[in-house]
Amino acid sequence: MSREREDKSEAGKPAMRSHRQVVFAAAFLAAVVVFGPSQDAGAAWPPWAKDEGVPDTVYPDVACSVDWLRSNLTSRNVVIVDARVVRSYAEGHIPGAISVPADGLPIVEREGDIAGLSDAFGEAGVGGRGTIVCYGDETYSDVAGLVFWALEVSGAGKVMLLDGGYEHWVSTGGSVETTARALPSTPWAAVEAAGFLGSSEYVESVYGVTGVEIVDARSKSSWEGPVDDPRSGPDDRVGHIPHSLQFDFGEFVGNDGLLFPPEECREVFSFLGPRQSSRVNLQDEFVVHGDGSPDNGAAGYCFLRRAGIARVKYFPAGWTGWVSDESHPVVRFIGGDELKILVEQEQGWPWSDSPMEAFVFLDVRHPGDHSKGHIPGSVVLSSRLIADSLDVYMGRYWPGADRTTMPFVSYCYGPTCIRSRYTSTDAARAGFLDVQRFYGGMLEWRQVSGRIAK
């Protein structure tokens, strides 16, 4: 039937169409009365109503341009803090800036240490009132980020990071002075904001917990660990905190050294996740860290605040502090070549498929896929059963194993499978300290011509 004929045919049945619409509407309302609205707690009802569950994004004013600073350079309500080392400050600084080097701040590991920061700022003449602008050599500055965070966790009301830092100030014609400035000491007037601090104890309690993401600001290679290095072992302590995600905060900074707009930064960060189809929830809490303060994790904290991430903490002890405690578990990636050497050493000719003795070795894929082909020496245990069944499997295949020294290795299908990530976290929670994740899975195993057992 042509479109014209169809329209004419329908036009000749106005009464029938109206009757059908009435019947449909009545049925729809009856369904609502009987069954109620959608059972999805996160969905708004009626469908066209605004979803009140997700708050509007607020972008805090935590960064300023060099133009803004020029126009407020002599304001009594603005304190400029140079976070660089004393020598750099002496060689030249923004007029009126006082020196509060990041490397001279007290170490903060837990809530009780924050008072030391407040005292240090008070002695430097920073009382926590007004607007405090801190800067380093550039935008992505570990020292400026650390001072920014230290001021916020101490309770300062208005802290801003100078976008572009000292280098951009100079390159745009900003005046420079070498005369040291000092402010009279003053009592710290603000109330501590301990909610911005992530201690080692806190990180240990929340890794892998739904609603919290630990973000590692170190390089990807540092986060992964030395892949394919057979010399690595529990004493090397390389890799990352269990369940953490790696992110390069340099992606927030353009080639000109200036920050992208906060909305763009938020969009970039929204792609973070263990795989493309499993992204983080921006309403979650994010705990950021680097190697150990001062580090680029502090700048990441500032950048996330600017990007409208409402719940952010900084873990100042960082990776160095985490691994210094030998009771903390570590996860690292193991490559196909390294794993192949380990498997062949124990499952060598004549080829066998008995459980590995040197380390716990789990295939966390579906049992049916394991039976079709798996890495020799691996025992199948679906990832969703790890938390409840690991102790049983340990007693069956690795009785008497010391979890503080025996490595734990798991694998799944390949890079797009994240089961080994959750398995690694469960293993860490179960007391294993040397947790290794064969990220490439069966896909990489075939690429390195590893033997397949059935």
Task: Reply yes or no on whether the pLDDT at 364 is more than 70.
Answer: yes
- pLDDT given for residue 7 in this prediction: 37
Residue, of 385 and 189, whose pLDDT is higher: 385
Task: Reply yes or no on whether the pLDDT at 142 is more than 80.
Answer: yes
Q: How confident is the model at residue 229 (pLDDT cuts 50, 70, 90)?
A: low
- pLDDT given for residue 165 in this prediction: 98
To the nearest 10°, report the CA torsion of 318, 215, 151, 132: 130
CA separation, residue 398 to residues 52, 370, 407 (Å):
51, 20, 12
Task: Reply yes or no on whether the pLDDT at 151 is more than 60.
Answer: yes
DSSP collapsed to 3 states, 324-364: HCCCCCEEEECCHHHHHHHHHHHCCCCCCCCCCCCCEEEEC
Task: Reply yes or no on whether the pLDDT at 341 is more than 60.
Answer: yes
Are 402 and 450 in contact by the 8 Å Cβ rule? The answer is no
Task: Reply yes or no on whether the pLDDT at 233 is more than 70.
Answer: no
pLDDT tens-place string over residues 43-99: 443 443 445 566 799 999 999 999 999 999 999 999 999 999 999 999 999 999 999
pLDDT tens-place string over residues 370-380: 999 999 999 99
- pLDDT given for residue 293 in this prediction: 81
Q: Which CATH class is domain 54-328?
A: alpha beta
Are 168 and 94 in contact by the 8 Å Cβ rule? The answer is no
The long-range contacts involving 223-232, CB below 8 angstroms and separated by at least 24 positions, are 224/332, 224/333, 224/439, 225/332, 225/333, 226/332, 227/333, 227/334, 227/335, 227/338, 228/334, 228/335, 228/336, 228/337, 228/338, 229/338, 230/338, 230/341, 230/342, 232/332, 232/338
Are 419 and 412 in contact by the 8 Å Cβ rule? The answer is yes
Q: What is the DSSP letter of 96?
A: T
Instruction: Name every residue whose Cβ is closer than 8 Å to that of residue 14 and which is 6 or more positions away in sequence.
Output: none
Q: CA 326, CA 164: separation in Å to the nearest integer?
A: 39
Instruction: Locate 81 and state its tokens.
Output: 């803090």
Determine the residue type at 86: V
Q: What is the mean pLDDT of residues 357-363?
A: 96
pLDDT tens-place string over residues 211-224: 999 999 999 999 99
Of 154, 140, 163, which is closest to residue 62 (Cα–Cα)? 163
Q: What is the mean pLDDT of residues 389-401?
A: 96
Instruction: Locate 268 and state its tokens.
Output: 């970039």
User: Which helix or strand (DSSP H or E) is residue 213 part of?
Assistant: strand 212-216
Q: What is the mean pLDDT of residues 315-342?
A: 95
- pLDDT given for residue 294 in this prediction: 83
Three-state secondary-structure class, residue 30:
helix
Q: What is the mean pLDDT of residues 415-419?
A: 94
- Where is average pLDDT lowest: 177-181, 231-235, 295-299, 304-308? 231-235
Mean pLDDT (the chain) is 88
Instruction: Name every residue whose Cβ is closer than 8 Å to that of residue 62 and which is 6 or more positions away in sequence.
Output: 148, 159, 160, 161, 302, 305, 306
DSSP collapsed to 3 states, 112-141: HHHHHHHHHHHHCCCCCCCEEEEECCCCCC
Are 390 and 331 in contact by the 8 Å Cβ rule? The answer is no
CA separation, residue 139 to residues 129, 222, 302 (Å):
24, 23, 11
Task: Reply yes or no on whether the pLDDT at 15 is more than 70.
Answer: no
- pLDDT given for residue 189 in this prediction: 83
- pLDDT given for residue 12 in this prediction: 40
Task: Reply yes or no on whether the pLDDT at 333 is more than 60.
Answer: yes
Round to the nearest angstrom and report the end-to-end CA distance of the chain.
Answer: 59
- pLDDT given for residue 316 in this prediction: 96
- pLDDT given for residue 359 in this prediction: 96
Are 47 and 66 in contact by the 8 Å Cβ rule? The answer is no
Q: What is the CATH number of domain 334-447?
A: 3.40.250.10
Q: What is the mean pLDDT of residues 123-132?
A: 93
Of 256, 258, 286, 280, which is closest to residue 267 (Cα–Cα)? 280
CB atoms within 10 A of CB 378: 24
Task: Reply yes or no on whether the pLDDT at 8 is more than 50.
Answer: no
Q: What is the pTM of this model?
A: 0.86
Greatest mean pLDDT among 11-15, 17-21, 51-55, 131-135 lies in 131-135
> Tokens 């160095």 belong to which residue?
320
Task: Reply yes or no on whether the pLDDT at 3 is more than 80.
Answer: no
Query: Bridge partners of 313?
Result: 287
Q: What is the mean pLDDT of residues 256-268?
A: 98
pLDDT > 70 fraction of the chain, expressed in percent and rounded:
85
φ, ψ for residue 346 (rounded to 5)? -105, -30
- pLDDT given for residue 228 in this prediction: 56
Q: For 155-192, give the DSSP string.
A: T-SEEEEETTHHHHHHHTT---B-S-B--------SPP
Are 99 and 180 in contact by the 8 Å Cβ rule? The answer is yes
- Where is average pLDDT lowest: 40-44, 236-240, 404-408? 40-44
Domain residue ranges in the chain: 1-51, 54-328, 334-447
Task: Reply yes or no on whether the pLDDT at 34 is more than 50.
Answer: no
Q: What is the mean pLDDT of residues 304-318?
A: 97
- Where is average pLDDT lowest: 90-99, 291-300, 308-317? 291-300
Residue, of 7 and 360, whose pLDDT is higher: 360
> Tokens 């996860």 belong to which residue?
331
- pLDDT given for residue 336 in this prediction: 94
Task: Reply yes or no on whether the pLDDT at 287 is more than 90.
Answer: yes
